[in-house]
Amino acid sequence: AAVLMHDPVLEGLEKAEKFDEITQAFENSEKAWEEEKANLLSEKQQMLEDLSRERLARKLRGESQRAREGRFRVSGPYERSDHRGGSQCHRRVQSDRGQRT
């Protein structure tokens, strides 16, 4: 009959190998998770940039459409005060001309 002897040194080495394998597997999975997280964040950033560009394009198309329809309103010193009288600057020139004659 064969006698099996318990060797504590051999058992310790086997456990150390198993521990190293488990540690390596954990580190590999952690690296894979970090890479996946980075990829997802990059994809999210790209989607946000695309959305921002799309919103800007829609806004510009809307302004362009309003301008073509004549509803676009210019703000600032050249803004029309009413539909018949023109700008204040235009009325001022007309009144200056009227004073000369």
Give per-residue pLDDT as tens, 11-64: 999 999 999 999 999 999 999 999 999 999 999 999 999 999 999 999 999 888
The answer to whether residue 100 is domain-embedded is no
Q: What are phi and psi of 4, to 5 degrees?
A: -95, 125
Rounded Cα distance, 66 and 59, in Å:
11
Rounded Cα distance, 18 and 23, in Å:
9
Q: Return the closest-CA partner of residue 47 out of 59, 55, 58.
A: 55
Residues 83-99 pLDDT 10s: 555 555 555 555 555 55
The answer to whether residue 58 is domain-embedded is yes
Q: Position 51: which residue type?
A: L
The answer to whether residue 92 is domain-embedded is no
Residue 37 domain boundaries = 9-71
Rounded Cα distance, 54 and 60, in Å:
10
The answer to whether residue 61 is domain-embedded is yes
Counting the structural domains of the chain, the total is 1
pLDDT score for 63: 87
Q: Cβ of 80: how many Cβ atoms within 10 Å?
A: 13
